[in-house]
Amino acid sequence: MRAIILTAVIWLLALPAFASESESVDTGKVVASIVSSHDSVAPGQEFYIALRTVLDEGWHTYWRNPGDSGEPVQISWKMPEDVTAGEIYWPLPRPIPTGPIVNYGFEGTPLFPVKFTVSPDAEIGTDITVVSNFYYLVCEEICIPEYGSASLSVAVGDPVIDARWSAEIEAALAASPTRGEVQGAIQKSGNVVDISFTDLPEGDFSNAYFFPYDQGVLGHSNPQTVIKGTQGLILTTTPDYLWEDTTPKTLEGVLTFDDGGALKGTNIALAVGQNLDIGESYVPPVGFGKVTLWTAIFGALIGGLILNLMPCVFPVISIKALSIAKTAHGERSVIRREAWLYTAGVMATFLLLTGVLLALKAGGAEIGWGFQLQSPKVVAILAVLLFVIGLNLLGVFEFGSGLQNTGQSLTQKSGAAGSFFTGALAVVVATPCTAPMMAGAVGYALAAPAIVTLAVFMALALGFALPFLLIAYVPGLLSRLPKPGPWMARFKEVLSFPMFAAAIWLVWVLNLQAGDDGLLTVLSAMLAVAIAIWCFKHTKTFGKAIGALALLAAIVMPLSISAGTSAGEVVAAELKAETWSPARVAEIQAEGRPVFVDFTAAWCVTCKVNEKLVLNTAKVQTLFEETDTAFLVADWTNKDDVIAAELAKYGRAGVPLYLVYSNNSVSPVILPQTLSYKVISEAIAGE
Amino acid sequence: MSVSKVLFSTLAVSALAIAAPATAKIATGSNVADMTVTDSNGVQHNLSDFAGQKVVLEWTNEGCPYVAKHYSTNNMQKTQAMAEADGSVWLSVISSAPGKQGYKTGEEANAWKDAQGAEVTAIVLDPEGEMGQTFAAKTTPHMYIIDEAQTLVYQGAIDDNRSANPATVEGAENYVLSAMNDLKAGNAVAVSDTAPYGCSVKYKS
């Protein structure tokens, strides 16, 4: 073994008449040399010579577009006539920030290969000596221009690859950007440029960055915000002075991204004009960081758990709690069965909703979570249902002998079906709450592939059902539930109040959606229900027939309701609100005024709370007046594709969403979902 | 409310503000807001004091090779003299933070001015980087021209040869002189916005 190594070493030492590597030149902060892929080349052959630079730790040199400051690495060649040199194959640059200034350049050991072509007439047996004069500005905090010269010789003869340097050069060539399938377009509107890319290769584009070849195209020091879509991505940043007089025809540059931990890049010529369709998009809300599958699932699980406490869910849940309390001291196996059935009801309903959502999404509809409440029919039915449950809780009627034969409220049914449908009802009523609460996870889920959407929603469902599973399986919890007794009847009656409150809210929503006619219809339906209940309770066969008719009417009437025109007028009436549109935002921005956009819906509780407690206060109104801020309202009470698309742009699948375009920022600030005066004033001031 | 607050922090879905870009440049052709600056002699100037005169701003850093290129070849001094002859105000601005390259006390700045033979109205000391950030000055040198109406009419490089090599001064088009000539002839500035080149301004970090 040793002999072989020794032989190899001797053989290596014996070689160099033709060094494939020049002497190293220490120019100060950089040690430079030129290296060749070949020791010996044949006439007519192509080979590579590269400038190899080893930078001191913390120092950097510059790409072909150096960014805000700096100067590119430059190489000039002197060589005999029987070889010609090509252009530099630039390594992938990285943004190098120094304070507020961003440069494009290299750290470490960048290699700059250049292709050489040997003339077919080169004479075998001669040497080709190539001299490289190189210049680079090398900067850390301070900048030093450094230059040097190096030379090497290759023999003309049979081609002999230099193992070490050809490997390094090959690696550098493989890492340098190539023109792939990627399509790109750039669109400027006001102080914003959107660069869209489609037909992307495999890779992680979370930190994608576009490096333009030319200066003056993009504001290098402003961040490039990544918006990922199902078919591509958009980078949002600022334009620079090249756009002031003319619109550039095409713009070339390099898009970099991550592929399995390695930086990859692709050359693209951007078409100037309309953005490409990147499909459904999702931006992780700032502060949420990167939403991974597992954080989304975990978030959904916790979110589902907390949903049990939300005002729109609590009444439904409490019915179930009552039923659990009833059986708490009965058979454990019964309780477990009930808990699982409840879970099944929750899961099945979520599954159904998710399925509908996915189907609609696949059909191209712009839709978000909470969408079922955009249908006035569903709202009306829910309102009537909650009214009936309230009456029942109040003791107006019992699910006794009379009703049992003709039909009864499914949620009150004891046993299997009862538990299952309590779960189902809880989900349907809970979804308007989930929309604002779960914006991040739901947004992630909707933009993700269907299987991920499903996983996230199932986690949400499981979290939602978890309290009952815990009660059924954790022995301590069960024994802590209060003992049944006469208090339960009182408690049950009290629980009717949140039910009525929820019904009132839904009626109000309906009024906004369907106007006065809708209001009349839903209230009539409630009357019909009351008549039906009375008939079942107090009459014989004939009366029961009337009761059945009334019940039928109570079901049919809500279904006859269609969306009216009165929607949205009431929202934020106190403020001088304008209807939102992207064009209006651009107009107002052009006037140099700040813009506040309120994405809201009548059925969104969080939105209403914010409007009541913050937006409609005198303090905020005064703020808007003093700062000349335009207040734009995007009302999503009814389905609206433009609003849904805008929400998706900010990673939301539902409302509320609050955006502030301040005067010293091109991109809007996304406000938290719980507003405060301070948050709004700071955002308008651009702090 | 507290429940939702817990929820927000748990899920961190509440979005924070996207940081506003700190260095939005002043659009060429727009008015320059008034500001108060302090020169190397401790004298305060308001930009509005110079209304009615043209003002040339030059960001500088003695240690920067690109600055050295224009001073060692007398190119910057020549440009300054032309501006002065034209009745313009010339402010050299040092935005280097203390401890960083190019930072100067008032005394040091005056000594440097004398040693270079710089013909400038004043050297503005901007160690906090406020003036630099307002103008989005990126490099040394980075040049600006403000006209009599306090409108920004030029910003960018001093010339069209982006090298640090002093030999490249000759033959390069001096954008500042071209702009001044355009203004003198009563024309709009033809080349009014170029990419500056040089070392990065050594702002405080």
Question: Which alpha helices (H) appear in A154-270, and where do they start and end?
Answer: 163-175
Any domain includes A125: yes
Nearest C-alpha in B relative to A308: B3
Is the preceding peptide bond at A467 cis, omega within 30 degrees of 0?
no
Residues A118, A197 share a domain: no
Q: Say if CB A342 and CB A420 are below 8 A apart.
A: yes
- Domain-ending residue, one of A279, A307, A323: A279
Rounded-to-integer distance, Cα A518 and Cα A637, Å: 15
Cβ contact B17–A671 (<8 Å): yes
Alpha-carbon distances, residue A12 vs A17, A100, A160, B31 (angstroms)? 11, 50, 14, 69
The answer to whether residue B16 neighbours chain A at the CB level (below 8 Å) is yes
Nearest C-alpha in B relative to A68: B138
Torsion over CA of B124, B130, B134 and B135, rounded to 10 degrees? 40
Question: What phi and psi values does residue A198 have, to the nearest 5 degrees?
Answer: -130, 175
Residues A590, A672 share a domain: yes
Name the E strands within A60-110: 61-67, 74-78, 83-88, 94-98, 101-106
Q: Of A68, A650, A674, which has the smallest distance from its Cβ to B14's Cβ? A: A674
The answer to whether residue A666 neighbours chain B at the CB level (below 8 Å) is yes
Rounded-to-integer distance, Cα A600 and Cα B20, Å: 25
Rounded-to-integer distance, Cα B5 and Cα B9, Å: 6
Residues A313, A431 share a domain: yes
Q: Of B20, B195, B201, which has the smallest distance from its Cβ to A662's Cβ? A: B20
Name chain B contacts of A673, Cβ cutoff 8 Å.
8, 13-15
Rounded-to-integer distance, Cα A345 and Cα A352, Å: 10
Interface subset of A 4-63, CB within 8 angstroms of B? none
Any domain includes A201: yes
Look-up: residue for tokens 């970099």?
A256
Name chain A contacts of B31, Cβ cutoff 8 Å.
none
Structure tokens at A350: 């979520």
Look-up: residue for tokens 């935005």?
B95
Helix (H, G, I), strand (E, B) or coil at B95: coil
What is the rounded average pLDDT of the residues B183-203? 91
Q: Of A70, A221, A669, which has the smallest distance from its Cβ to B17's Cβ? A: A669
* DSSP 8-state class, residue A24: P
Q: What is the CATH number of the domain that holds A25?
A: 2.60.40.1250
Q: What is the CATH number of the domain that holds A640?
A: 3.40.30.10
Q: Say if CB B55 and CB B89 are below 8 A apart.
A: yes
B118 or A227, which is more confident: B118
Burial bucket for residue B81 (CB in 10 Å: 0-12, 13-18, 19+): middle
Domain B25-200 has CATH 3.40.50.1970: no
| Beta-strand pair A183-189/A262-272 | parallel
The answer to whether residue A440 neighbours chain B at the CB level (below 8 Å) is yes
Look-up: residue for tokens 């490039």?
A224
Domain of residue A275 covers 179-279
CA proximity to A316, closest of A172, A198, A423: A423
- Domain-ending residue, one of A559, A586, A617: A559
Question: What phi and psi values does residue A592 have, to the nearest 5 degrees?
Answer: 80, 20
Structure tokens at A148: 């040097």
Residues A428, A342 share a domain: yes
Helix (H, G, I), strand (E, B) or coil at A660: strand
Is the preceding peptide bond at A97 cis, omega within 30 degrees of 0?
no
Cβ neighbours, 10 Å, residue A351: 15
Rounded-to-integer distance, Cα B188 and Cα B202, Å: 33
Question: What phi and psi values does residue A327 have, to the nearest 5 degrees?
Answer: -95, 5
Compute the nearest-CA separation of B28 from chain A (Å).
9
Torsion over CA of A314, A317, A321 and A327, rounded to 10 degrees? 170
Rounded-to-integer distance, Cα A130 and Cα A33, Å: 12
Q: Say if CB A659 and CB A580 are below 8 A apart.
A: no
Cβ contact A286–B15 (<8 Å): yes
Q: Which residues contact A664 (CB under 8 A, 6 or more apart)?
A: A686, B20, B24
Rounded-to-integer distance, Cα A262 and Cα A268, Å: 19
pLDDT digits (tens, 9 = 90+) for B125-147: 999 999 998 999 999 999 999 99
**Beta-bridge mates of residue A519:** none
* Cα-trace Rg, chain A: 35
What's the number of domains chain A is made of?
A: 4
Look-up: residue for tokens 């440097």?
B112
Structure tokens at A48: 């590579």
Helix (H, G, I), strand (E, B) or coil at A51: strand
Residues A151, A80 share a domain: yes
Compute the nearest-CA separation of A378 from chain B (Å).
26
Report the run of H or E that residue A453 belongs to, with start and end. helix A450-473
Any domain includes A480: yes
Cβ neighbours, 10 Å, residue B68: 18
Nearest C-alpha in B relative to A675: B14
Compute the nearest-CA separation of A274 from chain B (Å).
25
Any domain includes A667: yes
Compute the nearest-CA separation of A21 from chain B (Å).
28
Any domain includes A569: no
Measured over all CA atoms, what is the biggest interatomic distance in chain A, rounded to whole angstroms?
119
Contacts 24+ apart (CB under 8 A), B81-87: B81/B119, B82/B177, B82/B180, B83/B54, B83/B56, B83/B176, B83/B180, B84/B119, B84/B121, B86/B54, B86/B180, B86/B184, B87/B53, B87/B54
Any domain includes A112: yes
Is the preceding peptide bond at B65 cis, omega within 30 degrees of 0?
no
Rounded-to-integer distance, Cα A596 and Cα A589, Å: 11
Domain ranges of chain B: 25-200
Compute the nearest-CA separation of B70 from chain A (Å).
14
Name the amino acid, one letter, at A481: L
Rounded-to-integer distance, Cα B157 and Cα B192, Å: 10
Side-chain half-sphere CA neighbours of A300 within 13 A: 26
Alpha-carbon distances, residue A498 vs A389, A493, A598, A602 (angstroms)? 11, 10, 28, 19
Instruction: Render A301-336 in DSSP notation, one character per residue.
Output: HHHHHHHTTSTTTHHHHHHHHHHHHHHTTS-HHHHH
Alpha-carbon distances, residue B183 vs A322, B27, B82 (angstroms)? 85, 18, 13
CA proximity to B201, closest of B94, B79, B123: B94
Mean pLDDT by 10 residues, chain A (687 residues): 49 50 90 93 94 94 91 93 93 88 92 95 91 92 88 91 90 88 85 86 88 88 82 86 74 90 88 75 42 72 76 62 61 77 86 78 54 69 81 71 36 60 73 53 63 80 84 71 66 78 82 81 90 84 83 83 50 63 83 87 72 79 86 81 79 80 77 82 81
Question: What phi and psi values does residue A363 have, to the nearest 5 degrees?
Answer: -80, 0
Residues A538, A444 share a domain: yes
Burial bucket for residue A563 (CB in 10 Å: 0-12, 13-18, 19+): middle
Q: Which residues contact A283 (CB under 8 A, 6 or more apart)?
A: A225, A226, A227, A228, A649, A650, A651
* DSSP 8-state class, residue A449: -
Q: Distance between the two ends of chain B, CA-based, in angstroms?
A: 39
Residues A452, A332 share a domain: yes
The answer to whether residue B2 neighbours chain A at the CB level (below 8 Å) is no
Rounded-to-integer distance, Cα A687 and Cα A158, Å: 68
The distance from CA A352 to its chain's CA centroid, rounded to whole angstroms, is 24
Rounded-to-integer distance, Cα A49 and Cα A117, Å: 10
What is the 3-class SS of A153-168, one letter each residue?
Answer: EEEECCCEECHHHHHH
Rounded-to-integer distance, Cα A365 and Cα B187, Å: 55
Q: Which residues contact A122 (CB under 8 A, 6 or more apart)?
A: A43, A44, A82, A83, A128, A156
Model confidence band, residue B8 (pLDDT cutoffs 50, 70, 90): very low
User: ∠ CA A582-A585-A586 to the nearest 5 degrees?
Assistant: 90
Number of H helices, E strands in chain B: 6, 9
Supply the pLDDT for residue B11.
Answer: 31
Nearest C-alpha in B relative to A668: B18
Supply the pLDDT for residue A120.
Answer: 93
The answer to whether residue B1 neighbours chain A at the CB level (below 8 Å) is yes
Q: 0.90 cut: is pTM over it?
A: no
Rounded-to-integer distance, Cα A244 and Cα A305, Å: 54
Rounded-to-integer distance, Cα A606 and Cα A627, Å: 26
Contacts 24+ apart (CB under 8 A), A199-202: A199/A232, A200/A232, A200/A233, A200/A257, A201/A259, A201/A264, A201/A266, A202/A259
Side-chain half-sphere CA neighbours of A566 within 13 A: 15
CA proximity to A366, closest of A655, A658, A581, A642: A642
Quote the mean pLDDT of chain B: 85
Rounded-to-integer distance, Cα B19 and Cα A112, Å: 36
Any domain includes A8: no
What is the rounded average pLDDT of the residues B153-162? 93
Any domain includes A168: no
Q: Of A219, A287, A440, which has the smallest distance from its Cβ to B16's Cβ? A: A287
